[in-house]
Amino acid sequence: MRQIYTGKMWFMAVLLAVFMAACGSNGGDDGGGGGGGLAPVNLGTAGDLKAAAGYAILAKTGITTVPTSTVTGNMGVSPVFASSITGFALVAHALNDFSTSAQVSGNVYAPDYTGGQTGSAGTTPAKLTAAVLSMQAAYIDAAGRTPTSAATTNVGAGTLTSLTLSPGVYEWGSAVTIPTNLTFNGSATSVWILKVAGTLDMAAAKSVILSGGAEAKNIFWQVAGAVTIGANTHFEGIILGNTSITFGHLASIHGRLLAQTAVNLDATTVTQP
């Protein structure tokens, strides 16, 4: 009986070791930054026009460009009408449910594109109303997250110079300035949420760099003030702006621009993740 009991104990110990190893491998995906298991901000289902994830650019007061910009993905405005989208040379679809533009690889939506079905739950106005609510909910979601630790609070006193950020929730109680390149290092499942109480500015001719498998779709910038990205700068991530988002001449982003006021482009390249 003693040998049988010992054998069972050995078997259970092996199972426990395997289980602990598996748990450890999942936790290691955060690159050591405390972001393991951090849930992304909920943008809804990609491609769903009733969700923020259905758009590369979504704004409440307008979208402007100094041509020629390049946008890969849908654009939308609400509650303002299509006249608030300028510089894109819009061409209305035959059914009046969206427009197209040579600068946009996707469709352009506004609440005055009624498609002859005003009042229906499936119309463009109704979808845009839901999308704006989704965008606002995502902003509130991000704003409510708790910083991962003291080490992710007020990093660099708001000046991010030549830094590499591990996954986690970061918070600044003031403006944030990025005068150099900025690197995010983590895996494909790592998540970053960056909460900025003031404005966000990135210098000209710099880059946000992803390493270790990090993906733009998992980087969320929740910014209370205006966002200004310098000329010829490349940016990564989902910008949840409480006010305006402005990109300088020939700047680019791999991400989404979700603004509760306006988005302003200048020969900008926007590519949704």
Residue 69 pLDDT greater than 50, yes or no: yes
Confidence (pLDDT) at 71: 98
Whole-angstrom Cα distance, residue 162 to residue 166?
A: 13
Mean pLDDT score, 209-235: 98
- Residue found under tokens 């609440």: 111
**Residues of the chain above pLDDT 90, percent:** 81
Confidence (pLDDT) at 115: 78
Mean pLDDT score, 195-219: 98
In this prediction the pTM is 0.86
Mean pLDDT score, 70-90: 98
Could you tell me whether strands 252-259 and 227-229 are parallel, antiparallel, or unpaired per DSSP bridges?
unpaired
Mean pLDDT score, 229-233: 98
φ, ψ of residue 132 in degrees (nearest 5): -65, -40
How many Cβ atoms sit within 10 Å of the Cβ of residue 179?
A: 15
Mean pLDDT score, 194-212: 98
Residue 141 pLDDT greater than 50, yes or no: yes
Mean pLDDT score, 102-123: 81
Maximum C-alpha span of the chain: 85
Q: For 161-179, what is each residue's pLDDT tens digit?
A: 999 999 999 999 999 999 9
Q: Mean pLDDT for the chain? A: 88
Q: How confident is the model at residue 37 (pLDDT cuts 50, 70, 90)?
A: confident
Q: For 13-30, what is each residue's pLDDT tens digit?
A: 433 333 333 333 333 333
Lowest mean pLDDT among 120-124, 197-201, 244-248: 120-124
